[in-house]
Structure 1
Amino acid sequence: MAKNGGRGRIRVFFAEVEGDDETIQEGLQAINVAANKIFQSTPTKIVKVLPASATPIDEDELLEELEDEDEALAPPNVAMNSKPKKSSYKPPIMSIVKDLNLRPEGELSFRDFYAQKKPNTQEQAVTVAVYYLRRVLELDKITPEHVFTCFKDVGRKTPKNMPQTVRDTAKNKGWVDTSERGNIKITNHGENMVDHDLPASNGKTDS
């Protein structure tokens, strides 16, 4: 290397190596060591050794080729930077039980019973409905759709997921029993709440 007036010059010599594979490999290693000493301060670049008869490859083409190889090695059915899918669960669609008579002859209608008890919370309304269906109408099987029909009869806003609301009432309050699949039962605790705590004097009961 020679310097002249603040400018530099560098001359790179390429060596030609002949011999068997072992000799060529040793020669390439020696050239690599020498080149690293000269260009140790330069940014690292991708180098691909090609046979002497091969056509020189453009660097951009080489990068694209390496990227294609990386994609080929990626696990199948796995998208890069893919976002987790949102849950596709939708609450069941409730239907009115058409043969459910909520105005039985000789008995208090559900609408009048509901007006007497004045339930405030969804849990209270669920319990009042189950109580009426079990103790007044004496139904053997009560489903979430029966409770849904009761809500519709009195014009109460129905929850988005009626089965889950019934389960929450059983879990959080213990007023109903959902242990038997497809059949809701009133518990002793729930009967006491409807018989003695409703309507609540303060407008709400959590007992």
Structure 2
Amino acid sequence: MAKPTKPTGTSRIKFIMFDAEIADDQIQSVTQAITNALRGPAGAPVVRRLPASTPANGHSEPAEVEVLDEVEDELDTVDVTPTAPRQKTVRKVKAPDIVEIEMHAPVSLADFAKGKDDGSQHKKFMIAAAWLAEHRSTPIVTDGHIYTCFRSIGWSTAINDFGQPLRELKGRKFFTTPERGHYEINHIGLDYVNKKLVNGAE
């Protein structure tokens, strides 16, 4: 029996089933077939079936040799380093400019707002716009007009974008926009302030 060549490397094999009677002079050829099977291209597992050789006595049952090509684990090629959480970006809008408005002559904004429900920012916007239209002859306002009113009366100005409530109120049909960035309270908006927002009104 010929001695097998000395291995120069290492190979990994997994035998699913190996049940055969092999003549001594056929062991080297079967070993070579297994080695060749392991040299196949990397990919999905491949099962190779090799017919068993007939022994010298001529009496053997059919048998198969199954060789499973192992697929190398690919996790080492995947970057699993956790990434830092993305920080939420908040778009900061510059505060509007102060507009010159006579705030304290009768009727003042403070007097006009008394007895009215100012429980939300949108209601405060409506009250300020109605006061400007009815008592300061300023039916068309900008976010600067509203900002000035808020600063004067002491309402919180912690609003990221003073134009957003105006756009939303325009969408609810309380304002019209004669031009970009300008808002005019309509009769629906005025009725809402003078009727619906009065404390005790039904």
Which has the higher mean CA deviation after the structures are superposed, 178-187 or 85-94?
Answer: 85-94
Spell out structure 1 runs of 4+ moving beyond 6 A: 83-86
Report what 1:192 is aligned to: 191
Q: What does the per-residue CA deviation read over 1:60-80, in whole Å, with 9 as the maximum and x for residues that have no partner?
A: xxxxxxxxxxxxxxxxxxxxx
User: In proportion to residue count, which structure has more strand?
Assistant: 2
Q: 1:140 to 1:123 in 2, by over 3 A?
A: closer
Whether 2:179 is the aligned partner of 1:168: answer no
Which has the higher mean CA deviation after the structures are superposed, 85-94 or 124-133?
Answer: 85-94
Percent identity over the alignment is 23
Q: Which runs of 5+ in 2 are unaligned?
A: 8-31, 43-82
Report what 1:40 is aligned to: 37
Whether 2:101 is the aligned partner of 1:100: answer yes
**For 2:188 and 2:134, how far apart are their aligned partners in 1?**
14
User: In proportion to residue count, which structure has more helix?
Assistant: 1
Decide whether the 8 Å contact of 1:110 with 1:132 is kept in 2.
yes
Decide whether the 8 Å contact of 2:176 with 2:184 is kept in 1.
yes
Decide whether the 8 Å contact of 1:167 with 1:178 is kept in 2.
no
Backbone CA RMSD of aligned residues = 3.7
- Helix, strand or coil: the match of 1:96? coil
- Helix, strand or coil: the match of 1:178? strand
Report what 2:116 is aligned to: 117
- Helix, strand or coil: the match of 1:10? coil
TM-score computed with the length of structure 1 as normaliser: 0.54
Larger Rg: 2
Q: 1:2 to 1:137 in 2, by over 3 A?
A: farther
**For 2:161 and 2:34, how far apart are their aligned partners in 1?**
72
Q: What does the per-residue CA deviation read over 1:94-126, in whole Å, with 9 as the maximum and x for residues that have no partner?
A: 2322x211112xx21011111232321111111
Report what 1:27 is aligned to: none
Q: How many residues align?
A: 139
Which has the higher mean CA deviation after the structures are superposed, 139-148 or 122-131?
Answer: 139-148
